[in-house]
A and B are shown apart, each in its own frame.
Chain A
Amino acid sequence: MSVNAPTRRPVFFGWYVVAASVFIGFAAVGARNGFGAFVNPMSDEFGWSRTTISWAFAVGILLNGVIQPFMGQVFDRTGGRKLVLLSVFVLGILTMAISFTNHILFFIFVFGVLASLAQSGLSLTNTSALLSRWFQRLRGTVIGINSTALSLGGLVLVPLAVYLMAATGSWRIAWIGLGAVVLLSLPVGLMFIRENPRQMGLNPDGDEEPQGQAGGRPARIPGPLEATNWRESLRSWPFWQMSGAYFVCGATTFILSAHFIPYAQDRGASPGMAALIFAVMNGLNIVGATSAGYLSDKIGGTKNWLTAVYVMRGLAYLIMLTTPLIPGMSIAGLWIFACIAGFSWIATLPLTSSLTAEVYGLRAMGTISGITFMFHQIGGFCSVMLAGWLYDVTGSYTIPFSIIGSLLGLAAISAFSIREKRYSARYQVPPAASAAASAGDD
């Protein structure tokens, strides 16, 4: 028996936090996104119009965007675990309670108001802030992995809701089923959602030695803009540069969510083909989000990757708008667009979140991320309104897509102009090393 046999290092507990966070996001997003599957059966039973039932989703959307900074503040003040777990429990119960719907006001109140509030507590901005405490070197990677919950929840749970309705013939049972999935994530959350590694005697990234000690990594030097209060961030450029770029991100993605399928049909794609192109674009989200976070961690230069994502999306818009001018390229142009845009769709989320953590630190990250997220939502709202109005005026999506797409140039400039090396904790040099470097320069 070899006493000195090498033992494999156990899996860092932070990875369980990531797994729990992804599963919670998966269940919550899936339960909310199942809305589309219920539009027809609920409208048919109660005689609601599409517009009437859509108000529940509309109210939820607006409330979700507006409430996010406040939920971020609650997250920062309480540490996060209690907020996330309470939100999971409440969202699960409320999702089940939707099965009691017998009036549109009940549906709007439960789905649109209460459940949206609960969802804000476990939003990706909050869970990204939580994961940022567990990981420093791999921060972008884990936030990217966490972002895939957006796509995975819809991919698995929406079909579950559809088939539950088909099997039981009851939309009420389908809501109960989705609520049960949300509640299923509660034990995982209880076991693995921990506010920070120190609570368990661990170090970020699973390092064996604390930072600044012999054998450990050098102590982390906070950046000059590290914030103890979210208000401090409002007085600095990086916050507005990231928020401005995020505004464009929301504008250029929401407009596609709202108008891509009808636009593709205008260009000659069948409804099925248009839906397939859109689905492929969404599927590529997963690859785009995880690879963007990973590359920024491994190579550095987060703002450069963020710039690249905006440039990539701008290129996709350019291809989408110019290919109809080439004979026979109309549908092919849509496919090329979907492939390029798909990679950039949610890749901005891990990059923006990790840059926020590096520049402003973790103490107010939930609130700061919540505010930047609000800009994202405002951008999306404005772009959808503008596109709808311009379509009515011009009879085409070309002009609104051109206007909104051209904003990506500004977003790229905004992201590229962030002075990351000056403000990011990642690039702060310990005073001793800095002095040595200066002496060397002399």
Chain B
Amino acid sequence: MPDLAQMFRMVLLHQGDAADAELIHWLKDQMDEILGLDPWVMVAATSAIVVAIPVAIGLFYYYQQRRGGIAPP
């Protein structure tokens, strides 16, 4: 029978399939092979995407507000 802790770890992976270590390492290998970029470049690119999301939401809201469309929260 599989180890109890191992099974526990798996139980909620439905909520976190990307947590699978094998899948993560395979994906990294594939990305390295396709893109071949320095890790820092990947960090900068991913961080830029992450930061851009809330900034875009805020800017869009600000733009709408300036057009007089929305009351301030």
Contact at A55–B5, with CB atoms within 8 Å?
Answer: yes
Which of A11-19, A134-142, A306-314, A418-426 lies at the interface with chain B? A11-19
Task: Tell me the interface secondary structure of chain B in the complex.
Answer: helix
CB distance from A52 to the nearest CB of B (A): 8
A146-163 Cβ-contact flags toward B at 8 Å (1 or 0): 000010011111111011
| A154-204 residues at the B interface, CB under 8 angstroms | 154-160, 162-164, 166-167, 181, 184-185, 187-188, 191-192, 194, 200-201
Which of A26, A160, A163, A184 gathers most chain B CB within 10 Å? A163
Residue A413 is within 8 A (CB to CB) of chain B in the complex: no
- Interface size for A (C-beta < 8 A) is 78
Residues of B close to A380: CB separation below 8 A: 11-12, 14
- The chain B residue with its CB closest to the CB of A35 is B19
Cα distance, A20 to B28, chains bound together (Å): 29
Tell me whether B9 and A61 are in contact (CB under 8 A). Answer: yes
B12, chain A: closest CB distance, angstroms: 4
In the complex with contacts A160-B50, A187-B54, A191-B58, A34-B19 CB distance below 8 A: yes
Interface membership of chain A positions 197-235, coded 1 if the CB is closer than 8 angstroms to chain B and 0 otherwise = 000110000000000000000000000000000000000
Residue numbers in B under 8 Å from A250 (CB-CB): 14
New A-B contacts (17) at CB < 8 Å, excluding given A40-B21, A51-B5, A162-B24: A16-B61, A23-B53, A36-B19, A37-B24, A54-B6, A58-B5, A58-B11, A163-B43, A192-B61, A254-B10, A258-B13, A261-B20, A272-B26, A275-B26, A380-B11, A384-B10, A385-B7
Q: Which of A34, A187, A261, A381 contacts B23 (CB 8 A)?
A: A261
**Per-position contact with B for A389-401: 1 when CB-CB < 8 Å, else 0?**
1011000000000
Supply 8 A–B pairs (Cβ within 8 Å), ascending by A. Answer: A11-B64, A20-B57, A35-B19, A36-B21, A154-B17, A158-B18, A200-B73, A254-B14
Q: What separation, in Å, do the CA atoms of A381 and B67 have in the docked complex?
A: 52
The answer to whether B1 and A388 touch across the interface, beta carbons within 8 angstroms, is yes
Evaluate whether A184 and B22 lie within 8 angstroms (CB atoms) in the complex, with A23-B57, A166-B39 already known: no
**Does B16 make an interface contact (CB < 8 A)?**
yes
Residue in B19, B38, B61, B71 with the greatest tally of chain A CB atoms within 10 Å? B19
On A, residues with C-beta under 8 Å from B are: 9-11, 13, 16, 19-20, 23, 26, 29, 32-37, 39-40, 50-52, 54-55, 57-62, 64-65, 150, 153-160, 162-164, 166-167, 181, 184-185, 187-188, 191-192, 194, 200-201, 250, 253-254, 257-259, 261, 271-272, 275-276, 278-279, 282, 377, 380-381, 384-385, 388-389, 391-392
Is the pair B40, A377 in contact by a Cβ cutoff of 8 Å?
A: no
A385 to B7, CA, bound (A): 7
Residues in B whose Cβ lies below 8 Å from that of A64: 12
A60 to B70 alpha-carbon distance, docked (Å): 40
How far, in Å, is B27 (CB) from chain A's closest CB?
7
Interface residues on B, range: 35 or more
| Alpha-carbon distance between A381 and B15 when the two chains are bound, in angstroms | 13
Considering the chains assembled together, what is the distance between the CA atoms of A155 and B24 in angstroms? 10
Establish whether residues A278 and B23, one from each chain, have CB atoms under 8 Å apart when the complex forms. Answer: yes
B10 & A160 in contact (Cβ 8 Å cutoff) = no
Identity of the chain A residue whose Cβ is nearest the Cβ of B2 in the assembled complex = A388
Q: Which of A23, A156, A392 touches B46 (beta carbons < 8 Å)?
A: A156
Residues in B43-63 with C-beta less than 8 Å from chain A:
43, 46-47, 49-51, 53-54, 57-58, 60-61
Q: Known A159-B27, A384-B7; judge A257-B13 contact (CB<8 A).
A: yes
B26→A392 contact, CB < 8 A: no
Q: Give the one of B12, B13, B58, B71 with max A CB within 10 A.
A: B12
Q: How far is the CA of A150 from the CA of B40 in the complex (A)?
A: 26
Name which residue of chain B comes closest to A159, CB basis.
B46
Docked CA distance A166–B46 (Å):
14
B50: A residues at CB distance < 8 A: 156-157, 160, 181, 184
**CB-based contact B24/A158 at 8 Å:** yes
Q: Which residues of A contact B69 (CB under 8 A)?
A: 9-11
From known contacts A65-B12, A185-B54, infer whether A167 and B39 are also in contact, taking CB-CB under 8 Å.
yes
Residue of chain B at shortest CB distance from A393: B1
The listed residue (A23, A29, A34, A157) touching B15 by CB distance below 8 A is: A29
| Cα(A391)–Cα(B2), bound, Å | 9
Give the complex CA separation of A23 and B46 in angstroms. 15
| A154 proximity list for chain B (CB < 8 A) | 16-19
Contacts of B40 in A (CB 8 A): 167
